[in-house]
Amino acid sequence: MGAAFLARRALYGLISLLILSAIIFACTHLLPGDAAVTILGEGATPEALAALRARLGLDRSVAVQYVDWLVGIPRGAFGTSTTLNQPAGPIIAERFSHSLALALITTVVAGALAIPLGVAAAARRGSRLDVSILTASYVGISIPDFVVAPILIILLASPPLSLLPSSGYEPMARSFAGWLAHIVLPVIVLAFLLIAHLLRQTRSGMLEVLSSDYIRTARLKGLRERVVLWRHAVRNGLSTTVAVLALDIGYLMGSIVIVEEIFAYPGLGRLMVYSVANRDIPLVQGTALVIGAVYVAANLLADLAQAALNPRVARP
Partner 1 sequence: MTADSRRSPGVTRRRFTRDLVASGAGALLLPGVLRGTAHGQAKPGGQLTVALYKDLRTLNPIMGIFGNEWRSTVNLYNNLTRLTATGGVEGDLAESFTAAPNSATWTFVLRDGVRFHDGSALAAADVVATIEKILDPKTAAPYKAELGPIASVRAVDRRTVRIDLSSPYADLPKALASAMARIVSERGIADFGKLDTTVYGTGPFVLKEFVANERVVMERNQRYFRSGRPYLDRLVLRVLPDTTSQIAALENREVDVIGEVESDAFKRVGGIKGVKAVQVTGGTFNNIVLYADRPPFDDPRVRKALRLAMDRPQMSDAITGGVGTPADDQPISPAYEYFDKTIPLRKPDLAQARQLLKEAGHGSGFEHRLVVSNSPASREKTAVVVQAMAEQIGIRFNIELMDNARYGSTIWNKGVSSYVGNYGTRPTEDAILSKLYSAVYGIDEGRWVKTEPGKRAEQLIVQGRQVSDKGERRKIYADLQRLCRDEGPFIIPNFFNSLYATQSYVNDWPTRAITTEMRAENCWLSPEAPGRKA
Partner 2 sequence: MSDLAAAPAPPLPRVNLYLACGAALTALAIAVALLGLVYSPYAPSKVDLLHRLTPPTPAHLLGTDRFGRDVLSRVLAGGWRSVTLGFGATALGLAIGLPVALATGFYRGRLDQIVMRFVDALLSIPTLVFALLVIVGLGPGLVQAVLALGVAASPKFVRIVRSAVLDAASHDYVTAARARGESALYIQYGEILPSVWAPIIVEGSINVGFALVGGAALSYLGLGTQPPHADWGVMINEAQKYISVSFWPLLGPALAICASVIGFNLLGEGLRDRLHLQRSFRDG
- Where in 189-208 is the site for partner 1 (CB under 8 A)? none
C-alpha span between 307 and 118 (Å, rounded): 21
300 half-sphere exposure, CB direction, 13 A CA radius: 18
The only residue of 31, 54, 62, 104 in contact with partner 2, by rule CB under 8 A: 31
Residue 175 engages partner 2 in binding (rule: CB under 8 A): no
CA distance 65 to 43: 25
Q: Does 215 bind partner 2 (CB under 8 A)?
A: yes
Which of 7, 62, 71, 313 lies at the binding interface for partner 2 (CB under 8 A)?
313
DSSP state of 312: G
Q: Residues 269, 283, 285, 286: which binds partner 2 (CB under 8 A)?
A: 269
Decide which of partner 1, partner 2, none touches 97; Cβ closer than 5 to 8 Å per partner kind: none
Of the ranges 3-11, 105-113, 234-242, 275-283, which one interacts with partner 1 (CB under 8 A)?
Answer: 275-283
Is 38 near partner 2 (CB under 8 A)?
A: no
Of positions 6, 7, 10, 12, contacts partner 2 by CB under 8 A: 12
| Cβ proximity to partner 2, 67 vs 139, nearer residue | 139
Query: Quick one: which of 108, 136, 161, 277 contacts partner 2 (CB under 8 A)?
Result: 277
- Site size toward partner 1 (CB under 8 A) is 45
99-105 long-range contacts (CB < 8 A, ≥24 apart) are 99/252, 99/253, 99/254, 99/267, 99/268, 99/269, 100/253, 100/294, 101/183, 102/183, 102/186, 102/187, 102/190, 102/252, 102/256, 102/265, 102/267, 103/249, 103/252, 103/253, 103/294, 104/249, 105/183, 105/187
Instruction: Give whichever of 14 and 155 is closer to partner 1, judged by the CB atom.
Output: 155
C-alpha distances out from residue 38 to 21, 51, 88, 124, Å: 22, 14, 17, 57
Q: Considering the complex, what minimum distance in angstroms separates the CB of residue 244 from partner 2? A: 6
Residues in contact with partner 1 by the rule CB under 8 A:
31-34, 37-44, 47-49, 51-52, 54-55, 83-86, 91, 149-150, 153-154, 157-159, 162, 165-168, 261-264, 266, 274, 277-279
